[in-house]
Structure 1
């Protein structure tokens, strides 16, 4: 009996893993140790990003803000077009309603005159007339007037139908306008959020680091060798025609002016706002956004570039500058970086357009 109790309390002999089982056990042990280390690391504070990492992330946020800005510009242009179309429909409906009211008044006067005449049967009126010839002449005239009034009545009906159609189109345009205004707000909120995130990130840098970043404007935005100021030397390459020269001259005059998203001048610009304003000064109307400006002229290759050409960057065509020759452009880089001269090689080239 004692031997049985001793056997019951004796610990079973452990067998060592060998072969594949041993390798599996070792893998599980290492994984457990790695998990424990990772959990302990997560409990500690994340390492502070380096200034270079902060600047790189700020550049990314600024670029995303620029993408949202161009979408905002497009939504704003579309909303303005809807407002203009809606106003035109309402004005036309008002004009037609005024003409309808005039026609109704004329019909009302005719009906009143008929009522006052008593609506007597024509045969009775002929019998009672002291001058049958005069009556017949008047009856013929009234028939002609009646024909004209019938035409006027049909005209009123047509006008009422047109007005109903105009009002239906106005209602449809109102729905479109509401959708475009919603898009406008969405893109505006996106721009503001990206810029706020970038400012918050840059606030973690020292004053000297922020100043250095602002001077460079980030390589992704073409700022490291850019020059700002109206005293910048002109390109040695002549513009191909007078309008291009005027556009380039305007861009030189804008050097040093601040970048403001959604702005088209004269005191501040975003990238497509600057190119639009430059060509507007030359008497040419460009569309508002980068992705529409690229189709506003004849495409040219990088080797064909001439002063006044529009140069576009990044996949999706989200940035634009005005080429001035010698491999350089004038552009509005981003918030905090004013209008300046920069080499076109410092951003991913997406294409170029020559404005007629």
Structure 2
């Protein structure tokens, strides 16, 4: 056994190799560099102030469009709620009338029996169809003409009541859909406004100052264009006044030479329409000026706050003209006018989606309810891209 033992190879126990400090540090460093590189590649570049301004303006415009959708859904919901109430009232009246007719027919049927009663089976048939009941019980021939007429009238009322109940069900379904649209529009407005606020709150003090400077330049450019417009309007007005005076003098000279005074009121008839509009516009502008300083609140129609179309609707209502609720409908009312032909009181609409409106006051300016966080104010019509204008009355 000893000899055998001497031929065995001695097993060498190997120890696990330890990483050298240099290798371990290099690996960790490489991992850190890789992680930083990945994070840098994934991080989005910070938007410029111009991009933030454009994004915020666009979000406010989208919120304005969603506000008009909300206004439309709210108006439809109110109308449908009134319609449903009217239909349900009608259904209740028809049901009462039907029950009264049913009681009358029941008395006719009961009178045909010595017992004076109607069996439960017959009553069930009678509830489904009076005509079938009376035919099945052989009572129809024994009824008077008046009683037969009552049976026919009952069935007519029964069909009409069923039709109204179906209409009420359909109207309730439509109302439910409008209420859902109302909730969706409200959520959309709130979401857009929240996104705009988030963008603004994330700006540094320096970025906010730069954004304010951009807004100042934008407003200044709009004011410059309004001043040019005001100057052109003043020149056109002076020219028209000079022409009017020259025409009056010519008419007076002609009248003096011919010995008649018939030419003094030439042309007054053509100004009658514009004079009527001017009178209405004066009331519109008086109302609008009285609202200056009141806050913009989306969906509001006054008296303490307004959105853009709520203000225009209320202002023209003060002049006796009923306008629809939304900008999309208001732009279809009255006569389209070119920007160059605007008169005080005209409505000016903005953006391709017609999501904003203001009341023209002359001199390139308007009164409007701009957006959340602002108040009703005077401002240049050139502050936003103009879609078109209308003269409501």
TM-score for the superposition, normalised by structure 1: 0.71
Matches within 5 A, 1:72-83: 72-83=70-81
Which has the larger helix fraction?
A: 2
The gaps in structure 1 that reach 5 residues or longer are 1-35, 120-142, 227-234
2:277 maps to what in 1? 240
2:200 maps to what in 1? 202
Note if contact 1:62-1:334 (Cα within 8 Å) is conserved in structure 2. yes
2:322 maps to what in 1? 285
Give the C-alpha shift of residue 239 in structure 1: 8.4
CA distance in 2 between partners of 1:80 and 1:62 (Å): 26
1:264 maps to what in 2? 301
1:316 maps to what in 2? 353
1:331 maps to what in 2? 368
CA distance in 1 between partners of 2:144 and 2:173 (Å): 44
Tell me how large the CA RMSD over aligned residues is.
Answer: 3.4
| Per-residue deviation, residues 319-356 of structure 1 (Å, max 9, x unmatched) | 11111111111111101121111111222111111112
| Per-residue deviation, residues 100-121 of structure 1 (Å, max 9, x unmatched) | 12222222333344435989xx
Matches within 5 A, 1:3-18: none
Change (3 A) 1:219 1:193: farther
2:113 maps to what in 1? 115
My pick for the range that moved more, 263-272 or 52-61, is 52-61
Change (3 A) 1:151 1:206: same
| Per-residue deviation, residues 259-290 of structure 1 (Å, max 9, x unmatched) | 11111111111111111111122222211110
Note if contact 2:222-2:380 (Cα within 8 Å) is conserved in structure 1. no
The gaps in structure 2 that reach 5 residues or longer are 1-33, 118-140, 225-232, 238-274
CA distance in 1 between partners of 2:110 and 2:210 (Å): 87
Change (3 A) 1:118 1:328: closer
Give the C-alpha shift of residue 145 in structure 1: 7.8
Change (3 A) 1:307 1:349: same
What SS class does the counterpart of residue 283 from structure 1 fall into? coil
TM-score for the superposition, normalised by structure 2: 0.65
| 1:147 and 2:145 correspond | yes
2:156 maps to what in 1? 158
Q: How many residues align?
A: 289
Note if contact 2:366-2:381 (Cα within 8 Å) is conserved in structure 1. yes
Matches within 5 A, 1:72-221: 72-115=70-113, 146-206=144-204
Change (3 A) 1:207 1:114: farther
CA distance in 1 between partners of 2:300 and 2:276 (Å): 26
Note if contact 1:247-1:278 (Cα within 8 Å) is conserved in structure 2. yes
Note if contact 1:256-1:340 (Cα within 8 Å) is conserved in structure 2. yes
